[in-house]
Amino acid sequence: MSTTLEPDVRRPRLRDHVVRLAEAGTTPYLPADYLDLFAPLRSGADLRGRIEEVRPETADAATIVIRPGADWAGHVPGQFLRLGIDVDGVRHWRAYSLTHGPRRDGCISITVKAVLDGVVSNHLVHEARPGTLVHLEQASGEFVLETDHDKLLFVTAGSGITPVIGMLRNLFPSTDSGVLQLERSKSYDIVVVHVAPSEPDSIFSRDLHALADAGAIHLVARYDDVHGVLDVNDLETLVPDLRERRTLACGPAGLLDALSAHHEAAGLSLTTEQFRVARVAPGEGGSVSFDKSGTLVEADGSTPILDAAEDAGLLMPSGCRMGICMGCVLPLKEGSVRDLRNGAITTAIPGETGAIKVQTCINAAAGPCHLDH
């Protein structure tokens, strides 16, 4: 009996001994730290990606093609991922929609629009280069193509087109010879109402027109400088069979709020994805203290706690920055915060409520408050 067990006992001991020797030889680093230099995308490592291409779409938008690490689990068109990138020594996390279906080369892509004062968006659009490593989280999100209804209306505005283009590219792949009409996509009857400030500012304009020219979709392009701001009450004129279609919409809060009111009054179904937070008027600010770091930040009532803390040099957890992914949640131990989307006040009272988890990307100080970070 002892001769059969002995090899099994020795192998783990030998492996442990080799690991200890490797760790001793790489101190103060771990062997994995050196592997990260040579094989950062390997299986078992923290999930990363390598930028393969930065392709301009408009003057202030670009598609970023990324080769993900071996442990990337894939995605459903319409989903988003959280991406982390180091800018000036600080790691920032943002959420971006994936703008394609499965690719033969195994890469993924996001399309980023540079926004005013946007640290990450401007860096990705104007400064990121092929070879740059980024940190990734697995894809998530429920704004995906619904297979139980084949008469669809997509209403998009600005960069709200990004999750929709991922769905359309999956249904109707584009090749050098044109747009493919796949058997699995033939039953779909799709109308896309896309709104942009002007045609040059319209992300994926070429793709949308190519899909329309191929008969894959019916495109209703609306440009503010030509047609004026879209009135959702005009949808029944623009899309005469609106009541027969299921509507999916992605864009700024004003458009989605108007669509929600319109469709609710008409008794129509609506699925939405909001990519930017709508905020109420500023309220009272205050001092925000972070107990573990000992940092004290003076924040006004219109600035999210996340932004105020980062401006003060504090490294904060973050994600989508629009109240969806919960990547920025911290325990509020004492004090009050105001939700910038709807004005709701959340108050933590020591000994009574206990710590309350709040999203720092959508809450501003409503008086002095104390967070556990």
Query: Average pLDDT, stretch 292-314?
Result: 91
- Give me the architecture of the 151-274 domain, per CATH: 3-Layer(aba) Sandwich (3.40)
Q: Could you tell me if 155 and 255 are in contact, meaning their C-beta atoms sit under 8 angstroms apart?
A: yes
Tell me the fold of 286-371: Ubiquitin-like (UB roll) (3.10.20)
Burial class of residue 163 in the structure, from the number of CB atoms within 10 Å of its CB (0-12 exposed, 13-18 middle, 19+ buried): buried
pLDDT-derived band at 19, boundaries 50, 70, 90: very low
pTM, two decimals, is: 0.70
Q: Could you tell me if 249 and 271 are in contact, meaning their C-beta atoms sit under 8 angstroms apart?
A: yes
Pairing of strands 363-371, 329-339: antiparallel
The CA distance from 54 to 259, in Å, is: 34
Q: Count of residues for the chain?
A: 373
pLDDT-derived band at 258, boundaries 50, 70, 90: very high
Which residue type sits at 185? S
The CA distance from 333 to 290, in Å, is: 10
So what's the pLDDT on residue 336? 92
Give which of 87, 53, 118 is closest to 276, Cα–Cα. 118
Instruction: Determine the CATH number of domain 48-136.
Output: 2.40.30.10
Query: Average pLDDT, stretch 326-342?
Result: 90
Helices (H), the chain: 2-26, 31-38, 119-126, 161-171, 205-213, 224-227, 235-238, 253-266, 305-311
Tell me which H or E stretch contains 365.
strand 363-371
DSSP 276: S
So what's the pLDDT on residue 326? 83
The CA distance from 281 to 302, in Å, is: 7
The mean predicted confidence, pLDDT, of the chain is 86
Q: Determine what percent of the chain is predicted with pLDDT higher than 90.
A: 60
Domain spans of the chain, in order of start: 2-38, 48-136, 151-274, 286-371
Pairing of strands 363-371, 61-68: unpaired
CB count in 10 Å sphere of residue 313: 10
SS3 332: strand
The CA distance from 364 to 279, in Å, is: 11
Statement: residue 22 has pLDDT above 60:
no
Q: Supply the DSSP string of 63-104, one letter for each residue.
A: EEEEEE-TT-----TT-EEEEEEEETTEEEEEEEEB-SS--T
